[in-house]
Structure formats: structure tokens, C-alpha cells
């Protein structure tokens, strides 16, 4: 099976690479690259600020006749975002930075110039000391004198501050001791108050427990009576609880007919009408029988009471 992707190419036997024409490109050829602004700058034409990190589609070219240690230097062309004026800057491999060339001014340039000036002075001093040993001695003497002057000025400032600031150390210690004693006293008072509150809370709990025990006396424990005989269960109340409840509700609504005195109030003695003979002939005579109850009426009342008493006894037995 042949390979889908061919890695090797066929060179015929009469192949001569010297006959291949070479592509000649100009040395100042420009390429379009995408980059970000390396520093803050301000356009000279319109005054627009271009901040570091702003992205541009720039043109890049190699600077002719400028090389640092064999490293080429590149130039970049960008356009202002407001007026479309051309701005150029190039690389600075010596300082690992970029240098502004045309169309804008770099912001915060003063600080960079100061640093460069310090570096230049330090470099010149090192070159002088390298070639002239007497210069090294003079520089050391100058450095020592400068250091002594700085120390003297510092000491004078310290003495001046001590003269102006009259500090009483005894008063400071006394004040510190008073503050410490005051703090201890406050802590003791807080502890006493906390203990007092805890005691009051415990006393209140005891009083509440005692009052609850007085209001609710202990109920005596009633032991169930032991059944000595197996036949004692027959003597207990055979009525179920539901029937007892029904009887009680009936007695509350209607009344309980248990006493003979209550039933006696319900019975009235019926008086017999006098006969016509007695009304005509003996109307004027008063007999003890006519003034009181007749023997027949007395017998009738007694018999009625006996019947009602028997009825009430049967009702009581049924209720029990």
C-alpha cells in the first residue's frame, strides 16, 4: 500500500542544483506584523496618547548598516489611532529596550534619561580608576569624607530632637503602672459580677423547683389489690365502661330516680266525689271520715307508693 503523504521527492540523475535560479529579494523588504506598543507615547501631530499594550498592524524592516554584536536592528512603522500619522521606533538590543525615532514622543522619558546619566557617570569613573591608581585613592577619600558628614548630620538631628522633646521616663512608668492597676481592678469587678449573676440564677432555679413541688404534691401510689381467689372476678362490676358512661349521661340529663321521697312528690291523692245520698240527706253532718282522707283513699295511696318504690329499686339495681 502506497503512502498517502509523500515525504521524499524524486531527483533525476541529471539534476543540477546550480542551475536553479535564485530569488533575489530587496534587503529593505518590509513585512506586515502584528505587535503591541512597547511603551507609552504621545502623537506629535494631534496629541493623542497611545498607551503601552495597544495593538497595531505594523510594517517591519531591517535597518541598514546598523548592527549590535551581530544582531540586526529592526524598525517598525505604525499609524496614530486618531490622525493616522506615521510613527516609527526601532529596537535597542544594547539596553534591551526600544527607542523612539519619529512621529511621537515617549512618556516618562526623564526618569530613563536620569538612569542613563547615572550609568554613564559610573562607567567613566570605573575607566578612570582602571588607568589611574591615584584616582582610586582620591575617590575613596571623597567617599569616606561624605560618609562621615552624613553620620555627623544624623547625630546632630538626633541631639536636636532630644533637646526639643523633654520626656519624663518616671511619669511614663507611673502612668503605665496606674493603667495596669486599673485594668486589674476592672477584671476583678467583672469576675465578681459574673459570680454574683451565676449565684442569683442558681437561687432562682431552686425557688422555682420548690414552688413547683409545693403546688403539685406527690400522689400516693395505690397498689392494686391482689385477688386472693379465682372467683373474685365474678363479683366485680360486669358492666363495661361504655355502658357506665351512657348511664351517667342519662342521669345528668333526665335525673336519677333513686329515692322514694322524690317519687312521692310525683304522686297526688285523688279525692272521691261524694255520693248523691250523702249530698241530699246528710249534707249538714260532718264526720271524721269526710274531713280527712277516706280509708279507701289511704289504701290506694299506700299501694301506689309501694309500686313506685319497687320500680325505683329495680332502676337502682339496673344502674348499679
Task: Select from 136, 30, 131, 141 the least CA-distant residue to 86.
Answer: 30
41 vs 300, which has greater pLDDT? Answer: 41
Distance of CA 123 to CAs 70, 117, 120, Å? Answer: 23, 10, 5
Cell of 114: 536620569
Spatial distance between the Cα atoms of 247 and 318, rounded to a whole number of angstroms: 10
Cα pseudo-dihedral 155, 161, 164, 168, rounded to 10? -110
CA 4: distance to chain centroid? 65
Lowest-pLDDT range, 18-27, 167-176, 228-237, 276-285? 276-285
- Answer yes or no: is pLDDT of 289 > 50: no
- Answer yes or no: is pLDDT of 103 > 70: yes
Q: What is the mean pLDDT of residues 246-261?
A: 61
- Per the DSSP assignment, residues forming a β-bridge with 57 are 34
In this structure, the strands spanning 104-106 and 55-68 are: unpaired
Domain segments of the chain: what residues? 31-109, 115-165
Residues at the binding site for Zn(2+) are 43, 46, 80, 83
End-to-end C-alpha distance for the chain, whole angstroms: 117
**What is residue 85's predicted lDDT score, i.e. its pLDDT?**
94
pTM reported for the whole predicted model: 0.37
- Answer yes or no: is pLDDT of 99 > 80: yes
252 vs 291, which has greater pLDDT? Answer: 252
Q: What is the mean pLDDT of residues 159-171?
A: 76
pLDDT tens digits, residue range 74-86? Answer: 999 999 999 999 9
**What is residue 127's predicted lDDT score, i.e. its pLDDT?**
85
- Per the DSSP assignment, residues forming a β-bridge with 105 are 42
- Per the DSSP assignment, residues forming a β-bridge with 76 are 60, 89
Q: In the chain, what percentage of residues exceed pLDDT 70?
A: 64
Spatial distance between the Cα atoms of 120 and 123, rounded to a whole number of angstroms: 5
Residues at the binding site are 43, 46, 80, 83
**What is residue 286's predicted lDDT score, i.e. its pLDDT?**
45
Amino acid at each position: 500500500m502506497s503512502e498517502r503523504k509523500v515525504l521524499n521527492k524524486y531527483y533525476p540523475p541529471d539534476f543540477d542544483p546550480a542551475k536553479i535560479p535564485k530569488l533575489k529579494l530587496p534587503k529593505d523588504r518590509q513585512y506586515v506584523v502584528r505587535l503591541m506598543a512597547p511603551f507609552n507615547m504621545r502623537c506629535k501631530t494631534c496629541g493623542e496618547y497611545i498607551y503601552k499594550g495597544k495593538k497595531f498592524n505594523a510594517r517591519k524592516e531591517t535597518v541598514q548598516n546598523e548592527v549590535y554584536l551581530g544582531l540586526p536592528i529592526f524598525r517598525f512603522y505604525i499609524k496614530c489611532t486618531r490622525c493616522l500619522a506615521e510613527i516609527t521606533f526601532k529596537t535597542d538590543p544594547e539596553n534591551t529596550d526600544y527607542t523612539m525615532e519619529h512621529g511621537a514622543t515617549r512618556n516618562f522619558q526623564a526618569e530613563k534619561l536620569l538612569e542613563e546619566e547615572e550609568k554613564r557617570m559610573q562607567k567613566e569613573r570605573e575607566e578612570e580608576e582602571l588607568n589611574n591608581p591615584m584616582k582610586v585613592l582620591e575617590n575613596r577619600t571623597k567617599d569616606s569624607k561624605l560618609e562621615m558628614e552624613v553620620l555627623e548630620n544624623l547625630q546632630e538631628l538626633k541631639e536636636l530632637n532630644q533637646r526639643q522633646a523633654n520626656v519624663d521616663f518616671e511619669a511614663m512608668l507611673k502612668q503605665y503602672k496606674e493603667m495596669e492597676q486599673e485594668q486589674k481592678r476592672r477584671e476583678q469587678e467583672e469576675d465578681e459580677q459574673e459570680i454574683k449573676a451565676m449565684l442569683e440564677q442558681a437561687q432562682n432555679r431552686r425557688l422555682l423547683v420548690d414552688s413547683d413541688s409545693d403546688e403539685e404534691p406527690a400522689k400516693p401510689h395505690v397498689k392494686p389489690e391482689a385477688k386472693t381467689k379465682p372467683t373474685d372476678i365474678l363479683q366485680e362490676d360486669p358492666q363495661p365502661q361504655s355502658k357506665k358512661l351512657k348511664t351517667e349521661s342519662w342521669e345528668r340529663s333526665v335525673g336519677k330516680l333513686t329515692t322514694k321521697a322524690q317519687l312521692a312528690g310525683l304522686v297526688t291523692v285523688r279525692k272521691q266525689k261524694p255520693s248523691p245520698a250523702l249530698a241530699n240527706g246528710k249534707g249538714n253532718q260532718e264526720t271524721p271520715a269526710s274531713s280527712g282522707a277516706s280509708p279507701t283513699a289511704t289504701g290506694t295511696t299506700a299501694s301506689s307508693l309501694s309500686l313506685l318504690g319497687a320500680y325505683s329499686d329495680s332502676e337502682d339495681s339496673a344502674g348499679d
